[in-house]
Each structure stands twice: as structure tokens, then as C-alpha cells.
Amino acid sequence: MDELEGILELNKSEGIYIDIGTQVYLEITGVNYSVTSVFIGMLKDEFMIVTLPKRYKSVQNKLFTGNKIIVKYLFDGSVFAFQTSVIETITNPIKALALEYPKVVQQRELRIEKRNFVVIPGRAEAKKIEFPIVVFDISKNGLRFKYNDNKQSISALKENDLVRVYCQFPGMSEEVGTLSIVRNVRREKEQFSIGTEFQNISKAFLTPLMHFLYSIEDFS
């Protein structure tokens, strides 16, 4: 697993921690981009089954028996990764990909405290008023957003105010929201910059957030 040495901390645990329905990222030998698939099931020490990846037609010729694949996925706040190889591409009666059961699984904690500078349009609700925002800094614990200073629509937010923030993460068709508490407020010209901490974050928000953080994580 030379491709992963120095990137993930080796964890020779007793098994693979993964749930049916988990989204996985496939790095296929001979393909210079990753594709996504969904974990369907496995027979311990024998094989694993995932759905045919998105963009299947563009990688179909690389899914031949024996070709190497690195599989990465998120589970309980950690990134897991392993090297495997293709057993068979199944197209009938179901469409799926059979992979060798990995001999070594590696684990690394996602850097949840790392600040990630992004541009995500969204909206917020506070004091019974809804207003547009732009999220520009996000982590697993909270986010920072800006909104225009329009006194006719909402007065300035203050520390410890509650605000519900909605984001539409890239690749998602619908927005997701979570309750946050204001931790700091900055005035920047005609805008307010608001730092918040997530409160009682739901799985519906946490799951796409973690996948988004993984997608922008720098593993170099």
C-alpha cells in the first residue's frame, strides 16, 4: 500500500468498520480521478460488493479482473482506506462490482479542527427573520458566515444568539440545516461576519458535511 504510506495511520483492527449504504471513493489504477460508489455488503475474509460507480462508462475499461483500486470512506469521523483489486464486474441480474476483501485497513482521524475556507451560499433564520448568507469558513464544529448589514431586515446578531443555518453542499440537490449558537461577531464595512458553533447537530446535516470536508481535505 505504498500510495497510502505516511498518509494514514495503520490500524490493524479486527475487522472493517463500514455500514451498508456508505458512500465510498474509488481510486482506480489507470484513472486520474476518483469516482463514487455505495457499499452493498461483504463476506468476511472473502469479498466486498459495491455498486457500479458513478461515471461507470468512463472507467468501465479499467474495471478488469485484477486491476488495483484504493477504497476510501468516512465512518464515525474517521477516514478509512484500503487497497483491493477487482474480482468481477457484475451487470446481470444486478449491477455491482465485486472486490477482494482487504488484508490491511488504515484509519486516520479527519482534521475536524482544521479551518476550511470555502464559498457556500445559504440562508439563516434568527429572531423570526430569514436572510441570505455566504458561508466562507467551515469545520465539523461550526462555521463562519457573512450577511449584509440591512437594519430594515434584521438587527445585528450578538454572542449567544441562536441561529439556524442552511447550506447546500456541492453535489447535493437539497439544502440541509442545523442549529448554531453565535460565538463571535465582527463588523466588516457593510457586512457582519458571524462565527457559530453547531448545537445538537443531526445526522442529516453531519453526513453531507463530513463528506464535503473529506472532499476538500488535503492529504498531501
Per-domain residue ranges of the chain: 2-109, 116-216
Contact 86, 97 (CB under 8 A): yes
Average pLDDT of the residues in 171-176: 83
- Evaluate if residue 52 carries a pLDDT over 50: yes
pLDDT value of position 104: 82
pLDDT value of position 77: 67
pLDDT value of position 110: 61
CATH fold match for the domains 2-109 and 116-216: no
**What is the number of other CB atoms lying within 10 angstroms of the CB of residue 72?**
19
Average pLDDT of the residues in 26-47: 91
- Evaluate if residue 167 carries a pLDDT over 80: yes
CATH architecture of 2-109: Roll (2.30)
Q: How confident is the model at residue 173 (pLDDT cuts 50, 70, 90)?
A: confident
Comparing 31 with 116, the larger pLDDT belongs to 31
Residue 14 burial (10 A CB sphere; 0-12, 13-18, 19+):
exposed
pLDDT value of position 1: 38
Average pLDDT of the residues in 40-67: 93
- 154-162 long-range contacts, CB within 8 A, separation 24+: 154/126, 154/127, 154/129, 155/127, 156/185, 156/187, 156/192, 157/126, 157/182, 157/185, 157/192, 157/194, 158/182, 158/185, 159/183, 159/184, 159/185, 161/126, 161/127, 162/126, 162/199
pLDDT value of position 154: 61
Q: How confident is the model at residue 210 (pLDDT cuts 50, 70, 90)?
A: confident
pLDDT value of position 12: 46
Contact 138, 117 (CB under 8 A): no
pLDDT value of position 112: 52
How many Å from the N-terminal Cα to the C-terminal Cα in the chain? 16
Q: Which amino acid is at 192?
A: F
Residue with cell 461576519: 193
CATH architecture of 116-216: Beta Barrel (2.40)
Average pLDDT of the residues in 10-36: 80
Comparing 212 with 113, the larger pLDDT belongs to 212
pLDDT value of position 151: 57
Q: What is the overall mean pLDDT for the chain?
A: 83
pLDDT value of position 49: 96
